[in-house]
Amino acid sequence: MFWLRAVSLLSVFLFSCTIVAGDTDQYIWSNPPYRPIVTTRRSYNTATSGQWYNGGYRNSMPRQEYKCHESNQQYDCVFYGVHIDGPTQNVYFGFENENNERNITFKNSTIRSLSDALLRSFRQVELLDLNDLQLKEVGPTAFTYGQTIQSLYMGHNAIEHLPPYLFHNMQSLSVLVLDRNSLRSLPQQIFSGTPKLSVLSISNNNLETIEDGTFEATTELNHLQVSSNKLTHINLSLIPSLFYGNVSFNNLTTLAVPIAVKELDASHNRISTVSGPLNGELALLKLQHNSLKDTAWLLRYAGLVDVDLSHNELENISSDHFRHMTRLERLYLSHNQLVKLNLGNKPIGNLNVLDLSHNHLLYVERNQLIFDRVEYLYLAHNSIVKLKLSANNKMKYLTLSDNDLDCQSLRNLLQDVDRPVVGDSDHNCKPDYKLEQGLCCKESDMAYLDRLIQYIHLTSVAEKQHRAKGRCSADDAITSANKLSNLLTEKSDVMLQANQQLQEEERQLQNAVRELSAEQKQLEQGVQGLLAEIDTNLRRYRLPKDGLARPSVNLAKVLTHLKERHEFKLRETQNRQAEADAKKREMERLEEENIVLQKQLDDKKKEHSKVKQDTKSMKIRVNQLEAKKNRNPEAVRITK
Helix, strand, coil % in the chain, rounded to nearest 5? 40, 15, 45
Cα→Cα distances 470→228, 286, 296, 351, Å: 49, 48, 45, 53
Q: What is the pLDDT of residues 86-112, one digit of tens each?
A: 766 678 888 766 788 899 999 999 999
Cβ proximity of 379 and 355 under 8 Å? no
Domain annotation covers residue 570: yes
Question: What domain range is 566 assigned to?
Answer: 549-581
Residue 583: helix, strand or coil by DSSP? helix
CB atoms within 10 A of CB 283: 19
Backbone angles phi, psi at 107, to 5 degrees: -135, 140
* Three-state secondary structure string covering 436-472: ECCEEEECCCCHHHHHHHHHHHHHHHHHHHHHHHCCC
pLDDT of the residue at 500? 66
Domain annotation covers residue 532: no
Domain annotation covers residue 566: yes
pLDDT band at 138 (very low <50, low <70, confident <90, very high): very high
CA pair distance 251, 247, nearest whole angstrom: 9
Domain annotation covers residue 563: yes
CA pair distance 418, 405, nearest whole angstrom: 17
Q: What is the mean pLDDT of the chain?
A: 82
| Bridge partners (DSSP) listed for residue 342 | 318
Domain annotation covers residue 571: yes
Helix axes 477-490, 492-540, angle to 10 degrees: 90
Residue 393 has pLDDT above 50, yes or no: yes
pLDDT band at 363 (very low <50, low <70, confident <90, very high): confident
Domain annotation covers residue 157: no
Cβ proximity of 403 and 382 under 8 Å? yes
CA pair distance 154, 105, nearest whole angstrom: 11
For residue 438, what are the contacts with CB-CB under 8 A and spacing of at least 6? Answer: 419, 422, 425, 426
Residue 352 has pLDDT above 70, yes or no: yes
Residue 21 has pLDDT above 70, yes or no: no
Domain annotation covers residue 564: yes
Domain annotation covers residue 440: no
Smallest Cα–Cα separation from 140: which of 110, 157, 120, 161? 161
pLDDT band at 52 (very low <50, low <70, confident <90, very high): very low
**Burial class, 44, CB count within 10 angstroms (exposed 0-12 / middle 13-18 / buried 19+):** middle
pLDDT band at 488 (very low <50, low <70, confident <90, very high): low
Predicted TM-score (pTM) of this structure? 0.64
Residue 48 has pLDDT above 70, yes or no: no
Number of domains in the chain: 1
Smallest Cα–Cα separation from 289: which of 614, 448, 520, 12? 520
